[in-house]
């Protein structure tokens, strides 16, 4: 909310903490897994909705954990280019952020238990792994973000885990097409994480946070999200073939349409304006998932 005065403890402060612009990373794979399952037969809408709630709740929990633990470790500083962090700036008290984190995890757990009751208790184990991953991104003795594994974690959890998990819950068994489908939003989620870390390169380096962008340097760090974005759209081809849905090949037309976003990643200076590019990657991921899903079910 650039330029807006945010009142401590207000709804606006909570929106800053939850970071709605990042939520497409969790919604996209569930939407795509749901659509692919619909091509194989009728799906249970309450179960699909529960999968979506789990994904969104865990994404919000991960964002709150990131806000809280980065403030505690000193990674978040006044000079960072990203959106305001509520713990570091005092817009929310640490205890409030931790409380919000617990609530999000509880919502995800309740929705997950409903999904497990409907589809099988194997989902409890999968949900536990996702919950651990949501917190371990910035918490614990070896946070994934500090090890340069943020992009890998995003690819796995917001790709095959979320997409194939949703498909399996709704359909009953994973397929090669479901695994291929998971890689589409997975690559885009990795791009979203890479752009986020590229924006924060200077402040992360100063704080000793060894993200992939810090390790690779700015030039290489700009190429990572470009490759991930293009690869995510190109992977629609094997998905269409494995799913036997030739209309899905039409989604390859998105590749050239992504050029303005790719150019922004490659050329936009690392300033607060880069947040617009980050939001664009999130919108692109969601757009791709919706277009591919629509073509799959036609």
pLDDT of residue 4: 59
Asked whether residue 5 is assigned to any structural domain, the reply reads no
Asked whether residue 3 is assigned to any structural domain, the reply reads no
Structural domain total, the chain: 1
Q: φ and ψ at 258, to 5 degrees?
A: -85, -5
Asked whether residue 191 is assigned to any structural domain, the reply reads yes
Average pLDDT over residues 129-158: 79
Instruction: Identify the domain containing residue 264 by its residue range.
Output: 11-297
Mean pLDDT (the chain) is 89
pLDDT of residue 142: 67
CATH number at 124 reads 1.10.600
Asked whether residue 2 is assigned to any structural domain, the reply reads no
| SS (HEC) of 16-82 | HHHCHHHCHHHHHHHHHHHHHHHCCCCCCHHHHHHHHHHHHHHHHHHHHHHHHHHHHHCCCCCCCCC
Q: Which of 30-34, 133-137, 183-187, 201-205 has the lowest mean pLDDT?
A: 133-137
Q: Which of 8-22, 37-51, 162-176, 283-297 has the lowest mean pLDDT?
A: 8-22
Task: Report pLDDT digits (tens) over 197-214.
Answer: 999 898 888 878 889 999
pLDDT of residue 1: 44
Task: Report pLDDT digits (tens) over 263-288.
Answer: 999 999 988 888 899 999 999 999 99
Average pLDDT over residues 52-81: 80
Asked whether residue 1 is assigned to any structural domain, the reply reads no
Q: Which residue has the higher pLDDT, 65 or 1?
A: 65
Q: Which residue has the higher pLDDT, 147 or 112?
A: 112
In this structure, what DSSP letter does residue 85 have?
P
Q: What is the Cα–Cα distance from 181 to 162, expressed in whole angstroms?
A: 10
pLDDT of residue 207: 77
Average pLDDT over residues 229-239: 97
String of DSSP letters for 201-212: HHHHHHHT---H
Asked whether residue 114 is assigned to any structural domain, the reply reads yes
Contact 170, 149 (CB under 8 A): no
Of the segments 106-110, 153-157, 287-291, which one has the largest average pLDDT value? 287-291
Average pLDDT over residues 175-199: 95
Asked whether residue 4 is assigned to any structural domain, the reply reads no
% residues pLDDT > 90 (the chain): 59
Asked whether residue 126 is assigned to any structural domain, the reply reads yes
Task: Report pLDDT digits (tens) over 34-55.
Answer: 999 999 888 899 999 999 999 9
């Amino acid at each position: 909310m650039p330029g807006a005065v945010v009142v401590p403890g207000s709804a606006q402060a909570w929106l800053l903490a939850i970071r709605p612009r990042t939520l497409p990373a969790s919604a996209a794979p569930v939407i795509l897994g749901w659509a692919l399952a619909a091509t194989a037969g009728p799906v249970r809408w309450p179960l699909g909705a529960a999968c979506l709630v789990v994904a969104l709740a865990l994404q919000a929990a991960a964002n709150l954990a990131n806000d809280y633990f980065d403030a505690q470790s000193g990674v978040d500083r006044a000079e960072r280019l990203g959106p305001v962090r509520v713990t570091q700036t005092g817009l929310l008290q640490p205890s409030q952020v931790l409380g919000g984190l617990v609530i999000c995890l509880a919502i995800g757990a309740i929705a997950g238990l409903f999904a497990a009751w409907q589809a099988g208790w194997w989902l409890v184990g999968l949900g536990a792994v996702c919950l651990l991953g949501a917190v371990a991104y910035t918490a614990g003795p070896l946070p994934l973000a500090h090890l340069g594994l943020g992009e890998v974690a995003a690819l796995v959890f917001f790709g095959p885990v979320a997409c194939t998990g949703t498909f399996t819950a709704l359909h009953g068994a994973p397929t090669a097409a479901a695994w291929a489908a998971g890689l589409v939003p997975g690559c885009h989620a990795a791009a979203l994480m890479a752009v986020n870390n590229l924006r924060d390169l200077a402040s992360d380096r100063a704080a000793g946070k060894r993200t992939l962008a810090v390790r690779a340097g700015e030039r290489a760090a700009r190429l990572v999200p470009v490759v991930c974005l293009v690869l995510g759209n190109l992977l629609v081809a094997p998905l269409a073939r494995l799913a036997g849905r030739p209309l899905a090949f039409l989604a390859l037309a998105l590749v050239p349409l992504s050029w303005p976003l790719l150019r922004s990643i490659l050329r936009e200076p690392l300033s607060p304006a880069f947040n617009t590019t980050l939001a664009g990657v999130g919108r692109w991921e969601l757009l791709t998932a919706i277009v591919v899903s629509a073509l799959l079910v036609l």
